[in-house]
Amino acid sequence: VYSLDGLLVFGLLLVCTCAYLQKVPRLKAWLLSEKRGVWGVFYKAAVIGTRLHVAVAISCVLMAFYVLVVK
């Protein structure tokens, strides 16, 4: 997380993980119930991942290409 590309990878993984966890009912009630504060970050990441799923998927593919081939 000490570089820009590491921060982008971390952000993409957070958004993808929270969007996935939103589909699991027990985890959604436990982890994504708060909409404010520190736990609200997970809720907001899940909303971003759900609403912008095409853009997030394209970003994941491009970041994977960058990490595996370019870097």
Tell me what the mean pLDDT of segment 28-55 comes to: 89
C-alpha atoms less than 13 angstroms from C-alpha of 58 in its C-beta half-sphere? 3
Mean pLDDT of all residues in the chain?
Answer: 90
User: Given a cut of 60, is residue 1 above it in pLDDT?
Assistant: no
Q: What is the Cα–Cα distance from 10 to 2, expressed in whole angstroms?
A: 11
User: Given a cut of 90, is residue 53 above it in pLDDT?
Assistant: yes
Residue 65's pLDDT is what? 94
Answer with the residue of higher pLDDT: 30 or 11.
11
CA-to-CA dists, residue 7 to 11, 27, 66, angstroms: 6, 25, 14
Tokens linked to 40: 């609200």
Answer with the residue of higher pLDDT: 60 or 28.
60
The enclosing H or E element of 65 equals helix 53-65
Measured N-to-C along each axis, helices 4-21 and 53-65 cross at an angle, to the nearest 10 degrees, of 140
State the pTM of this model: 0.84
